[in-house]
Amino acid sequence: MNADDKIIIADDAVIHPDDLHEDFIRSSGPGGQNVNKVATAVQLRFDAANAAGLSERVRERTIKLAGQRATKDGVIVIEAGRFRTQEQNRADARARLAELVAKAAEPPPPPRKKTRPSKGAVERRLKTKAGRGTIKKLRGRVNDD
């Protein structure tokens, strides 16, 4: 995946390279002096609120699914520092962004169909309730008449 290629996810979800901004930062974790010297982790910023390649529905769902990774302005920030090279971290961050937008571009699930219990099921339930009630009544005190 080239850095200048647009990422096509669906018809209504395309990520243009102009909407992405990458900053390289120092990675945390193990790695000795290499961690202190080399900025291999990438901080990918995607301006979802102003992205031209996203439809309104996908834009809203992307920001909602991003959660804490989205700022108040609608910019999604993804940090990737799993690997030791900039290129691998860049590809990882772009793949995670594409996965997030793809999840947002999925069509909504079909609406739930309301169902009703059959007449026979209602009658059986009421019959068993009445039976339990008579059993509990019989547990009461016995009258000597």
67-111 pLDDT, tens per residue?
A: 888 888 888 999 888 888 888 888 999 899 889 888 988 888 899
Is pLDDT larger for residue 115 or for residue 47?
115
The predicted pLDDT at position 121 comes to: 97
Whether 82 and 29 have beta carbons less than 8 Å apart is answered as no
Tell me phi and psi for residue 11, to 5 degrees: -60, -35
The crossing angle, in degrees rounded to 10, of helices 86-105 and 56-66 is 120
Burial of 87 per CB tally in 10 Å (0-12, 13-18, 19+): exposed
Report d(CA 112, CA 106) in Å as an integer: 17
Asked whether the whole model's pTM tops 0.85, one would answer no
**Entry field: residues in the chain:** 145
Structure tokens at 79: 């940090």
The predicted pLDDT at position 66 comes to: 86
The predicted pLDDT at position 32 comes to: 66
CATH of domain 7-105: 3.30.160.20
Whether 96 and 88 have beta carbons less than 8 Å apart is answered as no
* Residue at token pair 């962004």: 97
Q: If we measure between CA atoms, which residue out of 60, 41, 64 comes closest to residue 51?
A: 60
* Residue at token pair 């080239």: 2
